[in-house]
Chain A
Amino acid sequence: MSELAAYLQLGFHHITDLRGADHILFLLALAAIYRFRDWRECLWVATAFTVGHSLTLALAVTNVLTIRPALIEFLIPITIVATGIENLLVRDHVRPFATRRYRPVLAGVFGLVHGAGFANYLRSLFVERIALPLFGFNVGIELGQICVLILTFSAFFVIDRMIAMARPSRLLAAGPARARAIVVSSVVLVVAARWAVERAPW
């Protein structure tokens, strides 16, 4: 296997590993408000997350930026909690995309935090040649994110149909997608809040 393919596989494996659910949970939080037909918008937001994530990772592994790992481990679930709260509080998610540019910015900023999460590991391990492993790792993460989002949107599509067929009238006042977004966001928010408490650095 070429070096690039190996590190691409490593990044893909890292993001899709269910045992370390930080990133998957964050992607769920990002995607929770979108309907199946909004996939392009969600992909744009996820790519903004990757850009932020790649930027910090590059700065951290090249020693330009140094952040305490304990602080980062605490901040990662905080970003998930914040996204979950935003999902619950901002009800009007069907405005034209042009008026909602803050969401990719938010994802990019939160990506900065997530990128620092494993920078220490890469920096320590790849002391001689970091450029190719870093590039391959990031491409693998982006591909992994796309796979996670495809599965997520497929599941959302099925869930929305099921909710619509069940016709719980009060819940449907805001539409099946909103009901599903509330459930998913609440679950994600609570799990991440618990992680944040457990990882509090004080």
Chain B
Amino acid sequence: MGGGAGAVVTRGLLAVAAASLAIAASPARSSAHPLHTTLADVSIGADGALRITLRAFIDDFSAAVARHAGKARPVDFAIADPDIASYVAATVLIEDSNGRAVPLVWSGARRTGDLVWVTVRAPTIHSLKGIRVSYSTLFDAYRDQVNILQTNDGGRRRTVLFTASDGRASKSIL
């Protein structure tokens, strides 16, 4: 066998070895690369109280709510309002300017297409100043989950990102 042919064979064997290694090392099951995100808008509502409207993809959210409630994954993503309220209360935590936990009051949930919209209120909070938020929704489901929190304080908009590495740590939102 000549030198040129030998080089071709060597390169071919190298490619086969590399390919075999890749097959052995690649994950058993691949998934596409989705964005695992939820989005929450925080503002002072028309009634003067703090309002949070959280939107999430219904498939992931309903599975997490059911898991939190100790129930089976729901068919057609149907989840009960009390279970949603319980999950949101466990993963969206508000602290007032004195560091005290603020109870959230259920306002309702609706579904549009792939999204579920959940609204809760904090009737005792009338300003965003000094408020801190912990936003760990779906961190139990995905390690690459990123929760986006947007505030609108009299037209001044700010955005805070919460990643799984933040855990349940609270952050200032202004």
Contact = CB atoms under 8 A, between A and B. Distances in A.
A125 B55 contact: yes
B34 A199 contact: no
Interface of B: 3-4, 6-7, 10-11, 14-16, 18-19, 21-23, 26, 29-30, 32-35, 37, 39, 55, 57, 113-115, 143-144, 146, 148, 150, 157-161, 163
Given A125-B57, A190-B19, 14 more contacts: A3-B158, A3-B159, A10-B35, A72-B32, A88-B15, A118-B33, A125-B39, A126-B39, A170-B10, A182-B11, A186-B19, A187-B19, A190-B23, A195-B30
B161 A6 contact: yes
Interface in A88-123: 88, 117-118, 120-122
B32 A10 contact: no
Given A1-B159, A124-B113, A125-B115, A170 B3 contact: yes
Nearest to B5: A170
Contact of B14 (A5, A117, A171): A171
Contacts, number: 121
A86 interface: no
B167 to A, nearest CB: 17
Contacts of A185: 15
Nearest to A20: B33
B14 A182 contact: yes
A187 to B, nearest CB: 4
Interface residues of A, number: 51
A86 to B, nearest CB: 14
A64 interface: no
A72 B37 CA distance: 20
Contact of B3 (A117, A121, A173, A188): A173
9 contacts: A13-B146, A19-B143, A20-B33, A77-B30, A124-B57, A182-B11, A182-B14, A183-B14, A183-B18
A191 interface: yes
Contacts of A179: 11, 14
Interface string A148-174: 000000000000000000001011011
A21 B32 CA distance: 9
A196 to B, nearest CB: 9
Across the A-B interface, the 9 shortest Cβ-Cβ residue pairs: A20-B33, A6-B159, A173-B7, A73-B32, A187-B22, A186-B15, A190-B22, A190-B19, A186-B18
Contacts of B33: 14, 17, 20-23, 76, 117-118
Contacts of B11: 171, 174, 178-179, 182
